[in-house]
Amino acid sequence: MTIHDDAIARPRAEVAALHAELVRYGLVVWTGGNVSGRVPGADLFVIKPSGVSYDDLTPESMILCDLDGRVVPGTPGSERSPSSDTAAHAYVYRHMPEVGGVVHTHSTYAVAWAARGEEIPCVITGMADEFGGPIPVGPLAIIGDDSIGRGIVQTLRGHRSRAVLMQNHGPFTIGVTAKDAVKAAVMCEDAARTVQIARSAGPLVPLPPETVDALYLRYQNVYGQAGDARR
C-alpha cells in the first residue's frame, strides 16, 4: 500500500464509522443524510454512497471524489452513485479550505426551524459555546447542482456558526474534521429542540452579546486541553 493509499484509507474508515453516530443520535431517517471527509494533503474527499443502508456501510463502500464532485474511477466504491448532496459538499471543500468535514441530516427539530425559514436564536449558553451566536438560515436551494453548496458557503463564510439551516430543507454542518462536523450536527439538533421547547412554554430570555462572545471565546480557546477545545 502506498502512502497515498494510507492517506485515503483513514478518512474512508472514519467517515464510514461516523454515520453510525447520526443513527445513534436520531438525526436521520432511512438512508437520508450523509457525512463526508476531506483527504488530507489531496484535492479529494470521501462520501457516503446514495441509497445504502447505514448498517451496510463499510470503509470500502465510501466513494472517493475530487473537489468537483466527480467519482475517482477504479477506486473502491466507484461502481456506486455518490450521495445526491455530493455537489454541495464538493463546493464547500473548494471554497472553504479550512473545512475538513461536512454533514447533512434531516433531524426533526432543525428541519422544523428550516421549514419556518427562521434562525435559531442564541438563548442558551451551550449554543454560545458551540456556535458563538444564532444558527443562521441559508437560502432555498434545490438538489441537482452546487446551489446548496453556494448557499452554505454564502451563509457560513465569516460566521462563527458551524451549522446552517437551509430553508425548507434542513441542517448542514462543517468542521475542521468529519468528527467535528458530526458533533456540530448533534449540537445543532440539541439546540433546535431545546429552544423550540422553551419558546413553546413562554418568551425566550436573550443572552447579552458580550456574554455570548465571552462564552464562545472561552470554549473555543480555553476549555479543555490546549488545541482540543471542541469536545
Q: List, by residue number, the catalytic residues.
A: 104, 106, 129, 169, 223
For residues 16 and 61, give the distance between their C-alpha atoms in angstroms, rounded to a whole number: 8
User: In the chain, what is the straight-line distance between the N-terminal and C-terminal CA atoms, in Å?
Assistant: 33
C-alpha cell at 62: 465510501
131-142: b (≥16 Cβ within 10 Å) or e: bbbbbbbbbebe
C-alpha cell at 25: 443520535
C-alpha cell at 140: 432555498
Report whether 38 contacts 88 (CB < 8 A). Answer: no
Whole-angstrom CA distances from 38 to 19, 45, 93 are 15, 4, 8
**φ/ψ bin of 74: left (φ > 0), alpha (ψ from -120 to 50), beta (otherwise):** left
